[in-house]
Structure 1
C-alpha cells in the first residue's frame, strides 16, 4: 500500500540495538514504507554511504555509536543533513528532550511510544517536506534557501543559488558545471538537489531562471524578449511557455496581477 503523499514508498532507516524494537517498528510501518534495519549508528551511517533514505528513526542508547553522535554526524554532513531524524529514548526528563533537539533531531519520542504516534510523526515530517517543495516551485517570489531545513542545507543552497545566478545567461548551464564548482560528483549533487527541492538540477536551473524572470517583469525595465535572452532561454516563446507551465499564468498576466 502506498502513502497518500508519495507516488512510491519512502525509505525509513531504523537504528536500534534491540532486535525486538526493530521488528516492532518494522511490522507497524512496512505496509507504507520500505524499512531498513541497523543495530547502531555506525552501521546506519555505513548504509547511508551507498544508499538513499527518506527518514531516520534512531534510538539514543546504542553500542559503537549512540544516537546523539549519529544524529550529530548526519546533521553536520552536507550529504545527509536534509534527512529528517526522529530520536527515540527511554529518558523522559525535560533535559534529555532538550539535548535531543540540540543535537539536531527533528522530533523526539519517549519509550514506550504509541505506534500510531510514531506513524503520525513520520507522515507529518514527510508531508511538510512535500509542501515546502510545492511552495518553492510554484511561488515566483520564494527564494531557494526557503526549502532549507537546517543551517547546513541553507549554506549549501545559498552557494548553489549564487552559482546558478552568476551563470544564468548561459544556455549551456547544466549539472556538470554545477557539480564541478560545488566540488561534488554529478550523482551526489543530483541526489542532494532532488531530495531538497524535488527537482532535477536542470529543472532547478529552469525554475531559478523563471523566478529571476518574474522579478525582472515586476521591475518593468525589460521587454519579454529581452528577459528571455538575458536569462538564457532560446526564444521568447520558449520562455513564455515555461513561465505559463510553472506558474499557471503568462508573463503578461503575472505583471497585470501584481499591479
Structure 2
C-alpha cells in the first residue's frame, strides 16, 4: 500500500468511465481478465478468442515493459515445468481431438501442474484492491506473468491504462478497425452473459439518449485529422455521460 492508501493500482479516468457506462464493476473487469489467461494458449494451443486476447495482453505488457525473463533456477521446478509443457505441446499437436476436447484436456493438465508445483513456488494467491476487496490470482495468470518476467501489479496496471472508449472511438471513426488486446477483451466482456447486469429504466433512457448523441458527435469528429483532438472530444462526451449516470443514480 502506498502513501495515498492505495494497494498498487491506479484507476484512470478513462477506465472508471468505461466501466461505469458499460455497467461493469471495476473488480469484475479485472477478475474476468485474470480468470481467462491461459498458459495453454500462451504455449500455442487453440483456445477461444477471450482466452487468446487475455493471454496476449501479458505478451504486450512484456514488450511495453521490456521485461527480461529470469531462468528457473530450481531444478525440480524446471523439470516439472518441462514435463507439463511437453504434455501441452503434445495435446496441441494431436490431430484426433477437436478444439473443444483439447481445451477441456488442457484444464486437467493445468490442474495437475498446479497441484505439483504450487508447494515449490512463491506465486501470490491474492491481490488486494483495498483493505476489504481482493482478486484471486489463478495459476495460469501467475505462471504466464512469471514466465514473461512480470508481476501481477504490472500486468493489471497495464490493462487498466489501456482501457479507453474515447481513444477506441477516435480510431474507429476514421476506419481503423483493429483493437488492441485490452480493448478487444473489454468488448468481449460487454457481450458476455456472465457480466450482464440489470439496468434500471433511467439507465436505459440515458443510454439511448447518449447513443444518439454519439452518432452526432461522430459526424462532427470524423473529419478531424488530429487523433489527440478526436480523443479529447470523445473523452469530454463520455465524461458527460458518466456524470449524468452518477447524478441520476445518486
TM-score, L = length of structure 1: 0.29
Task: From the two aligned structures, give the one with the greater strand fraction.
Answer: 1
Q: Which has the higher contact order (CA 8 A, sep 6+)?
A: 2
Task: From the two aligned structures, give the one with the greater helix fraction.
Answer: 2
